[in-house]
């Protein structure tokens, strides 16, 4: 098993919390990259590219260490939604999601670079998980109250399913942790298949 903690190449407190919740040992080293979507770039392709860039950027600086990066994108009508820059953008995003099903995709990349391998990873694994989310027909008054609380800041699609916006979510079809930012079941399965590490409950450690 892994002697050193996995490096989580993300500043997201939600991803850190999810990994720590199942007892995975991690070290956070955020990657500073440009996350601007390319013209016409599809949601899954965008999330996969950003996750790969985060992972490889950090892995190049910490050779011999396993690095995990992820990126979550909200998609409606085939168009990816990033993070709202202001309340007007957040309002427009949530209005487009109201009363409809949208898709949330998290792409993950796990990689490790050897001391002499700076161009290609000795080990690199990627996957993307998509969950469908149905939002109810919340009122304009509810929306304005939510915007005033500022919880929309820094979140793809301007909401977090584990926060106040849970009152807007009528149904989740698929992984709930994926919507939060990291599909735990798929991550643990990947780590176990590679014999990298195991969550606390595999070791008989209670939380």
Query: How far, in Å, CA of 106 to CA of 180, rounded?
Result: 9
Is residue 79 assigned to a domain? yes
Report pLDDT for 18: 94
Report pLDDT for 3: 58
Least confident of 38-52, 140-154, 176-190: 38-52
Report pLDDT for 158: 94
Report pLDDT for 202: 56
3-state DSSP call for residue 176? helix
Residue with token string 């990291």: 182
Report pLDDT for 2: 56
Is residue 1 assigned to a domain? no
Is residue 45 assigned to a domain? yes
Is residue 152 assigned to a domain? yes
Report pLDDT for 159: 95
Query: How far, in Å, CA of 141 to CA of 24, rounded?
Result: 41
Chain-centre distance for alpha carbon 121: 22
Query: How far, in Å, CA of 195 to CA of 6, rounded?
Result: 13
Pairing, β 6-8 against β 26-28:
parallel
Q: Encode pLDDT of 66-102 as tens digits.
A: 999 999 999 988 888 888 999 999 999 999 999 999 9
Residue with token string 């850190």: 16
Query: How far, in Å, CA of 198 to CA of 177, rounded?
Result: 18
Q: How many domains does the chain have?
A: 1
The tokens for 22 are 């199942």
Mean pLDDT on 101-111 = 95
Residues facing residue 165 across a β-bridge: none
Is residue 74 assigned to a domain? yes
Is there a contact between 68 and 110 (Cβ–Cβ < 8 Å)? yes
On the question of pLDDT at 199 being above 80, the answer is no
Residue with token string 């490096």: 7
* 156 DSSP assignment: B
Mean pLDDT on 23-44 = 84
Structural domain boundaries enclosing 144: 6-203
Backbone CA torsion sign across 118, 120, 125, 129: positive
Backbone CA torsion sign across 110, 57, 119, 52: positive
Least confident of 18-27, 111-120, 171-180, 185-194: 111-120
Enzyme catalytic residues: 71
CATH code: domain of residue 187: 3.90.950.10
The tokens for 141 are 């008054």
């Amino acid at each position: 098993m892994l002697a050193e903690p996995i490096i989580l190449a993300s500043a997201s407190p939600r991803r850190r919390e999810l990994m720590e919740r199942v007892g995975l040992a991690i070290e956070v080293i955020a990657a500073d990259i440009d996350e601007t979507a390319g013209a016409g770039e599809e949601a899954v392709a965008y999330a996969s590219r950003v996750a790969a860039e985060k992972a490889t950027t950090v892995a190049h600086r910490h050779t011999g260490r396993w690095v995990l990066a992820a990126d979550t994108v909200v998609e409606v009508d085939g168009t990816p939604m990033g993070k709202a820059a202001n309340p007007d953008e957040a309002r427009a995003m949530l209005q487009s999601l109201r009363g409809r099903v949208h898709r949330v995709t998290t792409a993950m990349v796990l990689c490790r670079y050897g001391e002499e391998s700076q161009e290609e990873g000795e080990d690199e694994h990627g996957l993307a998980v998509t969950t469908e989310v149905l939002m109810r027909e919340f009122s304009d008054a509810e929306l304005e109250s939510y915007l005033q609380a500022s919880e929309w800041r820094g979140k793809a699609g301007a909401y977090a399913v584990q926060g106040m916006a849970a009152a807007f979510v009528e149904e989740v079809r698929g992984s709930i942790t994926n919507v939060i930012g990291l599909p735990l079941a798929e991550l643990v399965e990947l780590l176990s298949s590679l014999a990298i590490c195991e969550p606390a409950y595999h070791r008989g450690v209670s939380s």
